[in-house]
Amino acid sequence: MISQFMHDPRESHLQAAYRVLHYLKGSPGKGVLFKRSQKLALKAYTNVDSAGSIVDRRSTSGYCTFLGGNLVTWRGKKQNVVARSSVESEFRAMTQGICELLWLKIILEDLKIKWEGLMKLYCANKSTINIAHNPVQQDRTKHIEIDRHFIKEKLEGLICISYVSSGSQLADVLTKGQNGGLFHEIISKLGMEDIYSPA
């Protein structure tokens, strides 16, 4: 987020950079802990901060993927174009999450690990999920037609899209600022632990 303003930084950007450095300095032992799991499940959480940038009104997409309950990939990125609706920006985020799940499936196949089950994708927007499952093309969804067809194709025996409430949306931490309590709760659910914290 801060790097967007490298060519014309202001005092507020410097203060934001100091906050990031302060957090990092105060968390030298924090990292993702991988735990052994008997279930080899692939799942992803996708979210979007629709039109969240006050500079250009672009949305920020985020996803985090889990393999066997362990966080393996994550990303938060501003979308390339301005979305005309929140559903459009959600479809872009879902498409990125599905692509990441498919990439992980290919990696598993390259490692000779056979994956037969459905991959799960969690989204906090019920309208987006309903449109993804609806085979009827509607006039109001024509501007998202390619993403909608891509997602619909992957829903046929490969991906299962489920609703997750905003309070349980783990990708939130990648798309928008959180208050301290919620931030620590989410990163704990992502598998981050501090090796220096007392047991």
User: Each residue of 142-168: pLDDT tens digit?
Assistant: 556 677 777 877 887 788 889 998 778
91-141 residue pLDDT tens: 888 889 999 999 999 999 999 988 778 899 999 888 888 878 775 655 555
Residue found by looking up tokens 């490298």 in the block: 6
As given in the structure block, the two tokens for residue 172 are: 């939130």
Give the start-to-end residue ranges of the domains of the chain: 1-30, 34-193
Q: Write the pLDDT tens digit of every residue in 121-130.
A: 999 888 888 8
pLDDT at 135: 59
pTM of the shown model: 0.81
Per-residue model confidence (pLDDT) at position 71: 95
Give pLDDT, residue 136. 64
For position 107, what pLDDT does the model report? 94
Q: What is the pLDDT of residue 59?
A: 87
pLDDT at 167: 79
Q: Could you tell me which CATH number the domain at 34-193 has? A: 3.30.420.10
Q: Which residues contact 30 (CB under 8 A, 6 or more apart)?
A: 192, 193, 194, 195
Q: Which two tokens stand for residue 78?
A: 């501003």
pLDDT at 84 over 60: yes
Give the residue with greater pLDDT, 123 vs 180: 123
